[in-house]
Structure 1
Amino acid sequence: MTVNPAMVLLAKSKVIKTEPLDQKDAKWATLVKTTYTDPNGVERTWESGERLTRPEGSDIDGVGILAILQDPSKPDEPLRILLQKQWRPPVNAIVIEVPAGLIDPKESAETCAIRELKEETGYVGEVITDGFGVSPVMFNDPGFCNTNLRMIHLTVNLSHPSNRNPVPELEDNEFIETFSVPLKDLWSECQKFEKQGFAIDARVGTLAEGVECARRWNLG
């Protein structure tokens, strides 16, 4: 059995301690208290998280990437979705995710997705151009925080020379294992991952639900 070096590193990660964060020390996110009136005019308050990294003039914090691997020389092979395993401190677990990243100042969502995919996986992708390439703005957990993103839908041509030997360009604090599974099996794969102790990112879970709904009710 071949041991994956990335998984060995991920398995070594662990939470040492958790403590309150003084807001003056926050670099990535902070807590805010919002005062508002409900439909009956009653004044109420709401505690929530707020990102500190959204570039000025941008309507999103970042992107999630739905990358579909295709090999034109093998048209009968099932389409595969590109996924990642990454340990996340807030949940103290290795999470099954799609590639994703924060947007840079004056960067379009499409450019951000192509850049992040290359950096995190080594693959060069192309944005789908038939109107399905860019999702509406999506809020990850609107009852808790204002973090949002657009899902960018890419195809990766495996027969292209740039994608034959992909090499990630990870930062020194990034430890990511990239892999793929058949898109049609995403729901059952998520069930397997959960049983193995992995956490499932909501974007992956939602994609899996969509695929399974389309299969069960013959949508198309």
Structure 2
Amino acid sequence: MAAELFSSEVEALLPKQTTPYITDLETLALGKRHGLATATYINPRDPARVERKCDFIFLQGSPPLEPVGTLMPNVYRDEDGTWCTILVRQFRPNYQGDTIEFPAGFIERNAGETAEGAAVREMEEETTKTGTVLATSPNLTAEPVPVGARLVGVLLHAVDKTGDEAGKQRLDKGEFAVEYKVPLLNLEGRLDDFEMAGIVIDPRVWTFAMGIRCALMLELHEAAKGVDVDTP
């Protein structure tokens, strides 16, 4: 049966639009910004068309197919010439403690802001750095966490702010973010240190660290010679 369900013939028949497979949406609760809903759906790969249910969190007033926020993996070269990444540590009440994350935040769609513009703004707000865009991701999901919101990743080349902004963050009242400069080659070990200190690690930061490990292990720098990529 599994071979039949996931055969190329079945996959080819799947419609591009999956909305008809959601048969009902029920709002269970509303908070300040978020809501909790239950979707009743049929898996488009299920020939028996068995109805299933899935609880998920959504952002109120946000179009479900547009990215609502951005997160910023980044590279930063310090005064010694060492390539680093900039991380932030913040208290997250849903984890009952601190987390280590990339700078991130909402895209101000009402102001006509782009994901790239939001990335630079959030970097300037949460850290003492500004940045230039190196790459932008496709639309990303929050899966497997059941949140009905899409994100965009924007890779930044972070640099120190200058002038009156030098060394300053621009956080909202009551918001606190501790900035860390971590050498890329030490990132995996530093994440282990954070965990030992009881700090929860954002999975995207860990994935970034694993990408660095793979690049080193497989000597991808040598293999990529001649490949056209944007570099800071």
TM-score (norm 1): 0.78
What letter is aligned with 1:94?
Answer: D
Write out aligned runs for 1:48-87 (5 A): 48-52=56-60, 54=62, 59-70=66-77, 74=80, 77-87=81-91
Identity over the aligned pairs, expressed in percent? Answer: 29
- Residues 1:170 and 2:158 are matched in the alignment: no
Q: Structure 1 pair 175/64, CA: closer, same or farther in 2 (3 Å)?
A: same
* 2:159 corresponding residue in structure 1: 157
Please tell me whether the aligned partners of residues 141 and 147 of structure 1 are also in contact (alpha carbons under 8 angstroms): no
Please tell me whether the aligned partners of residues 122 and 163 of structure 1 are also in contact (alpha carbons under 8 angstroms): no
* 2:95 corresponding residue in structure 1: 91
Unpaired runs of 5+ residues, structure 1, are 1-21
3-state SS, counterpart of residue 166 of structure 2: coil
- Find the aligned partners of 1:197 and 1:111 in 2 and give their Cα distance: 33
Unpaired runs of 5+ residues, structure 2, are 1-27, 222-232
Please tell me whether the aligned partners of residues 64 and 149 of structure 2 are also in contact (alpha carbons under 8 angstroms): no
Q: Structure 1 pair 117/210, CA: closer, same or farther in 2 (3 Å)?
A: same
Which of the pair has more CA radius of gyration?
2
- The runs of at least 4 aligned residues of structure 1 exceeding 6 Å deviation read none
Please tell me whether the aligned partners of residues 124 and 162 of structure 1 are also in contact (alpha carbons under 8 angstroms): no
- Residues 1:43 and 2:45 are matched in the alignment: no
* 1:134 corresponding residue in structure 2: 136
Offset from partner CA, 1:148-201 (integer Å, 9 cap, x none):
21111111234x735983200111121110111001221111111111111101
- Find the aligned partners of 1:78 and 1:123 in 2 and give their Cα distance: 16
- Find the aligned partners of 1:64 and 1:190 in 2 and give their Cα distance: 18
* 2:122 corresponding residue in structure 1: 116
- Find the aligned partners of 1:212 and 1:162 in 2 and give their Cα distance: 37
- Find the aligned partners of 1:202 and 1:102 in 2 and give their Cα distance: 19
Q: Give the CA deviation at 1:142.
A: 4.1
CA RMSD of superposed structures (Å) = 2.2
Q: Give the CA deviation at 1:217.
A: 2.2
* 2:36 corresponding residue in structure 1: 31
TM-score (norm 2): 0.74
Larger RCO, structures 1/2 (Cα 8 Å, 6+ apart): 1
